[in-house]
């Protein structure tokens, strides 16, 4: 069995980290915990997309945020947030059909306004 490793130039990676949803600042957000459910979790494809595409951008724009991940035996997938005032917010990912919806829920919970659309 062989594996393929793809490499990105530093310039391409830097550009990719500066576009997309995750470039906003989240000063009120202290921690993001992601719980991965098993393959029967209906949010798994969206969560995978969020984890690969949005989470690196979110981390790059907000280096103060602590990120954790944990497996879950059941079908439950969720994102838990800890805000600056130690308030905890749980986002049930079964209510988020896309990675964009997950990002919007994080922004709303963190009191970050959505970007204006033209």
46-79 residue pLDDT tens? 888 888 888 888 888 899 999 998 887 777 888 9
In a domain, 16, yes or no: no
What CATH number did the domain enclosing 85 receive?
A: 3.40.30.10
Number of domain units in the chain: 1
At residue 25, what are phi and psi to the nearest 5 degrees?
A: -90, 135
Which pLDDT band holds residue 88 (cuts at 50, 70, 90)?
A: very high
Of the candidates 56, 65, 66, 50, the one whose C-alpha atom is nearest the C-alpha of residue 18 is 56
CA 23 → CA 1, 93, 112, 115, distances in Å?
A: 37, 21, 12, 11
- Using DSSP, state whether 53 is helix, strand or coil: helix
Note the pLDDT of residue 7: 52
- In a domain, residue 96? The reply is yes
- Residue 14, in any domain of the structure: no
Q: Which residues pair with 90 in a beta bridge?
A: 80
114 part of a folded domain = no
- What mean pLDDT comes out for the span 109-113? 77
Between 94 and 32, the higher pLDDT residue? 32
Identify whether 15 is part of a domain: no
Torsions phi, psi for 98 (to 5 deg): -150, 165
Q: Is 8 inside a domain boundary? A: no
Q: CA-to-CA distance for 42 and 25, rounded, in angstroms?
A: 29
Tell which phi-psi region holds residue 92, choosing left (phi > 0), alpha (psi between -120 and 50) or beta.
beta
What per-residue confidence (pLDDT) applies to 19?
A: 59
Assess if residue 48 is contained within a domain: yes
pLDDT for 21 equals 61
Show the CA angle centred on residue 83, arms to residues 14 and 46, nearest 5°: 55
| Domain enclosing residue 29, as ranges | 24-109
**The predicted structure's pLDDT at residue 5:** 46
In-domain check, residue 9: no
Tokens of 77: 């997938």
> What is the pTM for the complete model shown?
0.73
Query: Cα–Cα–Cα angle for 50, 116, 93, nearest 5°?
Result: 25
């Amino acid at each position: 069995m062989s594996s393929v490793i793809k490499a990105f130039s530093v310039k391409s990676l830097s550009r990719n980290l500066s576009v997309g949803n995750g470039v906003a600042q989240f000063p009120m957000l202290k921690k993001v915990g992601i719980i991965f459910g098993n393959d029967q979790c209906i949010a798994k494809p969206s969560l995978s997309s969020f984890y690969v595409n949005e989470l690196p951008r979110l981390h790059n724009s907000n280096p103060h945020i602590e990120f954790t991940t944990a497996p879950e035996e059941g079908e439950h997938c969720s994102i838990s947030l800890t805000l600056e005032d130690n308030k905890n917010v749980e986002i049930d990912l079964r209510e988020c059909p896309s990675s964009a919806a997950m990002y919007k829920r994080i922004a709303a919970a963190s009191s970050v306004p959505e970007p204006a659309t033209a």
